[in-house]
A = this chain, B = another copy of it.
Amino acid sequence: MKNTASSKERYVVLMAGGRGERFWPLSREKTPKQLLRLLGRKSLLQLAVERLQGLVPPSRVFVITTAVQAAEVRRQLPRLPRANVVIEPMGRDTCAAVALGAAVVAARCPGAVMAMLPADHVIHDAARFRQTLADAFDVAAREPVIVTLGIPPTEPATGYGYIRVGERLELPHNSPRADTIFHKAEAFVEKPTVERAREFLQTGRYRWNAGMFVWSVPTLLRGLEEHQPRIHAACQRWIATGHSPARLARLLRRDYPTLPRISIDYALMERATNVVVADASFDWDDVGSWSALARHLPRDAAGNTLQADCVTVDASGNLVLDARPGSARTLIALVGVQGLVVVHTRDAVLIVPKDQAQKVRDLVRKLETEPKYRSLL
C-alpha cells in the first residue's frame, strides 16, 4: 500500500438503492425510505450526507442508487457532483454494490480509505458519529483491516444480525480525541431467536451489525480477490474505466447480470480474518418499520403520534400520518383503537397494528401479483 498524501483521502459511499417496502404506501420504487422526509424537512439521505459535514466534503461522497431513483437523489443533493450519483443497472445484493462503490472511489484515488454506509438509518448524535467514523478511517488507513461499526445492543432484538467480538485491540490513533474501542471480530451471527438474543446481551460480547464498513481500497480489493474472485474481476474492469460515467454504465449493464447475488456479510465479512469492530458511541436506529418510526416523532398525552388532521376518542399509542397534499387532506377519526398505524397517501390507505408492521412487506408482495395495483408500487 502506497502511503502518499492522496492515499489518506477519505471517501464515503452511501448505499441508497433500497426499495423500502416496509414504508408502503409512502415508500414506492421511485421514492424508497431514504428519500422520504420521515422525520421533518429533510429526507434520511439528506440527513446522512449532512451528518458527514466537516469529515468528508460532498465532492468525495458517492451515492449508489437505482435508475428510477437517480433523478430524485440528485434533486435532493444539489451540492453533490452529478457523477457522484452512481446507478446500479439492477439490484444484485450488497457485495456487488460494495464492489461498485470501491471501483468509483479507486478510479479517483487508488489508495483511499472509504466508508460504505446505509442512507436510511437514523442517528441523532452526529458529532459522536463523526468521531467514531474518523477513528475508523484512521485505523483503516494504517492497518490492512476491514472495520465494521458495531452497535452495543440495548435490547434482545431479533431483527438484526449480530457480531461476536473477541480480544480488544490497541490500535494507534491519529486524533488526540480518539476514544473509540476496537475489538477483533470473531463471528457474524444471523438474526437470532429472542432467547439467543437475550444470551447475547448478557455476555456483553455481541454488537448489532449495522452494515457500516470502513476500509482502504487496497484492503477491500485484496479481500474480494481472495473470497469473491468473479466480483473482484468485474471491479477491476470498472476501475479501468477511469472517470468516464458512460463507459462505466455500459460495462455495468454487461457485467451486473452475471454477478452472484450475495450480501457483503456472507461474501466477505464471514470469511475474512482481518475484520475489526469499532464500538459505536452514538445512538442508532435502522427504523425498519412504521412502528420504529413512531419512536422518533412527538406524541400527544395519550401516546398518539398524529401527523394528520385527527380527532381521537379513547385512542392511544397510534401513529397516524397523512401524506396527502394539504388541500386533499381529510379528517381521520380514531375511536377506541390502540397501537394502530394509519398511513394515508394520495392513492392508498394502510391500516396495520404497530406490532405487525413488518407484515407490510407481505402486502407489497401481494400487490405485486395484481397488475391493477402496478401504479401503487
Cβ B336 vs Cβ A353 within 8 A: yes
Residue of chain B at shortest CB distance from A328: B328
- Min CB distance, A292 to chain B, in Å? 16
Contact A353 B332 (CB under 8 A): no
Cα distance A299–B314 in the bound complex, in angstroms: 28
Whether the pair B314, A359 counts as a contact (CB closer than 8 A) is: yes
Contact B359 A336 (CB under 8 A): yes
CA A311 to CA B366, docked complex, whole Å = 8
Interface residues of A in 340-357 (CB under 8 A from B): 340, 342, 344-353, 356
Given A335-B362, A362-B335, A363-B313, is A349 in contact with B353 using a C-beta cutoff of 8 Å?
no
Cβ of A337 < 8 Å from any Cβ of B?
yes
Which B residue sits closest to A367, measured CB to CB? B311
- Chain B residues in 8 Å Cβ range of A351: 332-335, 337, 340, 342, 351
User: Are B362 and A331 in contact (CB-based, < 8 A)?
Assistant: no
**B311 touching A363 by the CB < 8 A rule?**
yes
| Count of this chain's copies in the oligomeric assembly | 2
Q: Is the CB of B313 within 8 A of A330?
A: no
* Contact-residue size bin, chain A (C-beta under 8 Å from the other chain): 20 to 34
Contact flags A22-58 to B (C-beta < 8 A → 1, else 0): 0001000000000000000000000000000000000
Contact A335 B347 (CB under 8 A): no
| A276 at interface by CB-CB < 8 Å | no
Bound: A356/B334 CA distance, A: 11
Question: In the complex, A370 Cα to B334 Cα: how many Å?
Answer: 16
**Chain B residues with Cβ under 8 A from A344's Cβ?**
349
Q: With the chains together, A280 CA to B311 CA distance in Å?
A: 41
The residue in chain B whose Cβ has the minimal distance to the Cβ of A24 is B333
Nearest-Cβ distance from residue A356 to partner chain B, whole angstroms: 4
A333 neighbours in B (Cβ, 8 Å): 25, 348-352, 363
Q: Are B330 and A348 in contact (CB under 8 A)?
A: yes
Write the nearest CB–CB distance from A195 to chain B, whole angstroms. 24
| B349 & A331 in contact (Cβ 8 Å cutoff) | yes
Q: Could you pull out 15 A-B pairs where Cβ atoms are within 8 angstroms?
A: A25-B331, A313-B359, A331-B376, A332-B349, A334-B351, A335-B359, A335-B363, A336-B353, A336-B359, A337-B352, A337-B353, A342-B349, A342-B351, A344-B349, A351-B351
A-side residues, CB < 8 A to B, are 25, 311, 313-314, 330-337, 340, 342, 344-353, 356, 359-360, 362-363, 366-367, 370, 373, 376
Nearest 10 pairs between A and B by C-beta?
A336-B356, A335-B352, A331-B348, A332-B349, A313-B363, A333-B350, A335-B359, A330-B347, A313-B362, A335-B363
